[in-house]
Amino acid sequence: MENDMPSFRESCLSGRVEIGLFSNIAHPAAVEVMALGKPDFICLDGEHSQIGRGALENLIRAGDVHRVPVMVRVPGKAPEALASVLDAGARGVMVPMVSTAAEAAAVVSACRYPPLGRRGVGPGRAAGYGYRIPDYLGAANRSVLVSIQVENAEGLANIDAIAAVEGIDVIFIGPGDLGVSLSALPEAERPTLEAAIDRIASVCREKGRVFGIFRPGPENIERYVSLGMRFFIMGSDAMLLTAAVERGMLMARAALAGGGAGEGASEPVL
């Protein structure tokens, strides 16, 4: 759905660093709270949360109200799952566990209307509930961001072919699953995981692909920027909420134990 919001896809492809958040809480207020923090985008996590199809439109609307692009990580590669979130007005999709060039090409085809792909035409929210279909078809092919995740040993082995697939906008590294797949998640095996990340980064640079990675926070982001990464997701609403509650409890207990406000404490402005 094109409106006066700047093009998310265009911004991503420009080489600008984009920093977003995952949303795992299936309520529009959670999206609005995150949007107030001014991330570059929000990614609704349909893979690892209980966000269902019925909630998607209002979650996307919440981002639209604050002019923050909302994309969706779908729970698989099925074309109907991709069409559903795009019909709801998502600015882009993220597809997990893409391991071959054929899978990557199928994702592109499912996200683009003919002649660029095989996405079916439907009267969803993005197309003005049917009234704007003729205008929407070309606009969607120009503006929908297509991102895939490379996050297992098979995807790593096939990264040259995957990165060569026409129509992939962003290659996103899932370090958790990649580390598990390579038996490299323990800290002692961290060099193996970092070498795999370096390999993916090298191929993406060679192929001219925008690429990025999940990080739980800003630590070590300079290393990944130096590799050429420009697309980051740093944690989620649930992770940030948990960390804030834990920090608040620790500060409160420290203040009670010491009779003071607690180191670094601050009170909300009311």
The DSSP result for the chain, as a single string, is: --SSSPPHHHHHHTT--EEEEEE-S-SHHHHHHHHHT--SEEEEESSSS---HHHHHHHHHHHHHTT--EEEE-SS--HHHHHHHHHTT-SEEEE----SHHHHHHHHHHHS-TTT--PPP---GGGGGGTTHHHHHHHHHHH-EEEEEE-SHHHHHTHHHHHT-TT--EEEE-HHHHHHHTT--SGGGHHHHHHHHHHHHHHHHHHT-EEEEEESSSTTHHHHHHTT--EEEEEEHHHHHHHHHHHHHHHHHHHHHHTS--TT--PPP-
Catalytic, out of 10, 16, 36, 48: 48
Question: What single letter denotes the amino acid at residue 18?
Answer: E
Is 66 labeled as catalytic in the residue annotation?
Answer: no
How many Cα atoms sit within 13 Å of 132 on the Cβ side?
Answer: 16
Task: Show which residues are catalytic.
Answer: 48
